[in-house]
Amino acid sequence: MKNRFLVLLLLVATGLVGCASDLSGESYSRSETRSVQQIEYGIIGQLRPVNIEGTKTPIGGGAGALVGGIVGSGVGGGKTSQVMAVIGAVAGGMAGAAIEEGVTRTHGVEITVKMGSGQTIAIVQALSPNERFAVGERVRVIYGSQNTRVAH
């Protein structure tokens, strides 16, 4: 029984990591490709580290409830088994949702940019190892139909 639980937990965690999307300025969704994007230039005025919350889909809670219910049903027999299955499902659902949010949480940066027009904007995007920014640096602000990003 313990081995089944560990295998299910591993599958759930692996599935949640696979669901995480990349929020860096280097990643584009399929729907963003082959679309017109406007570019404006500006100067970075401030950089501030931020945390980007993880996803909150029904997948984490549902998978946790399933695992918790299975594990709970293995405790005792008869009515005790049924009660423990319900308790396990509720606790597993809460734990699964928390695990999903924690696994998909990421570090980001809030980039404040003084645009050439004089307007000041702020954009939050995930940190990328290939793209580091510095205050005073000239950057491109790329506006698409769905997203805005900062790039060198």
pLDDT the model gives residue 147: 84
Could you tell me the pLDDT band of residue 4, with boundaries at 50, 70 and 90? low
Model's pTM, two decimal places? 0.60
Task: Please say whether the beta carbons of 13 and 101 come within 8 A.
Answer: no
| CATH number assigned to the domain covering 35-53+106-152 | 2.40.50.100
**Beta-strand runs (E) in the chain:** 38-52, 106-115, 120-126, 138-143, 148-151
For the chain, give every domain's residue range. 1-22+55-104, 35-53+106-152
Could you tell me the pLDDT band of residue 34, with boundaries at 50, 70 and 90? low
Under DSSP, is residue 77 helix (H, G, I), strand (E, B) or coil?
Answer: coil
Q: How many CB atoms lie within 10 A of CB 50?
A: 14
